[in-house]
Amino acid sequence: MPRTKGDHEARRRDVSEAVWQVMATRGFAGLTLRAVAAELGATTGLLTHYFPTKNALVAYALDLLEQRTISRPRRHTGEGLAALRDALLDILPLTPEAIDSNRIWVSSWDAALSDPALSTDYARKYAQSRNGLSERVAAAQKLGELPPGDPAHIAAGAQFFVLGLVVQALFDPAAFPPQRQVELLDDYLATLTARTDPTTITRDDPGGGL
């Protein structure tokens, strides 16, 4: 029987799923044609049809990671602070799928930091993500849900907090189960809500630094 376009598409989906599973289990360091072939129950020879080189496999994996991140379902529970909370919850490893994709993102940092072009691309993506958060911060301020302050500054802090929580939750899922992650995030947001303008704070400057 001749192969149909449907066969081809189905096979592509199987290959994508196998690449994803290898990355979720072994990270980028463990992403090899051999590992993907084993996951797929295929020969390494078949895989070279899709990925002639290791670099082609890595490029495909990075593209798959971005596509799955872009197309993942997002929360939409409200405006302002609720929308900010939604965006931050969307990042956290609260479900098996989100655990896998976060684990793959964190794993990809090694490859990205070693490659100047990729590193620039990651920097651009994270800046874009901060811009999105910043818009939500500004909207929350307009609604009076957050006190005044530079939205970009507040958005950066929220991004740092969530990324650090992601890393810790991946290393220690027992200490940071989903409910605990949400509690920690909500406490962080409560801190933002309660903050006074830092320029008005007089505190003992410890005078340390660089």
Among 65, 94, 133, 138, binds its own copies (CB under 8 A): 94
Q: Which residues contact 23 (CB under 8 A, 6 or more apart)?
A: 30, 31, 61, 65, 103, 104, 107
- Under the binding rule (CB under 8 A), the answer on residue 106 touching its own copies is yes
Which of positions 1-60 make contact with its own copies (CB under 8 A)?
25-30
Q: How far is the CB of 90 from its own copies (least distance, A)?
A: 10
65 or 112: CB nearest its own copies: 112
C-alpha torsion sign, points 115, 25, 75, 165: negative
Cα(93)–Cα(163) distance, integer angstroms: 10
From first CA to last CA, the distance across the chain in angstroms is 71
Binding of residue 177 to its own copies (CB under 8 A): no
Cβ at position 66, least distance to its own copies in Å: 15
Residue 11 gets the label, from left (phi > 0), alpha (psi -120 to 50) or beta, of alpha
> Helices 54-70 and 96-113 meet at what angle, rounded to 10?
130
Q: Categorise residue 59: left if φ over 0, alpha if ψ from -120 to 50, beta otherwise.
A: alpha
- Residue 113 Cβ, how far from its own copies at the closest point, in Å? 6
Tell me which amino acid residue 2 is: P
Binding its own copies by CB under 8 A: which of 21, 119, 132, 141? 119
Cβ atoms of residues 154 and 162 within 8 Å? no
CB of 29 to its own copies, least distance (A): 5
Neighbours of 145 (CB within 10 A): 17
Residue span binding its own copies (CB under 8 A) among the ranges 6-14, 33-41, 42-50, 121-129:
121-129
Closest CB 21 distance from its own copies, rounded Å: 13
For its own copies, the binding residues (CB under 8 A) are 25-30, 75, 77-78, 81-82, 85-86, 89, 94-95, 103, 106-107, 109-114, 119, 122-123, 126-127, 145, 153, 156-157, 159-165, 167-168, 170-172, 175, 178-179, 182, 184, 187-188, 190-196, 198, 201, 203-204, 206-210
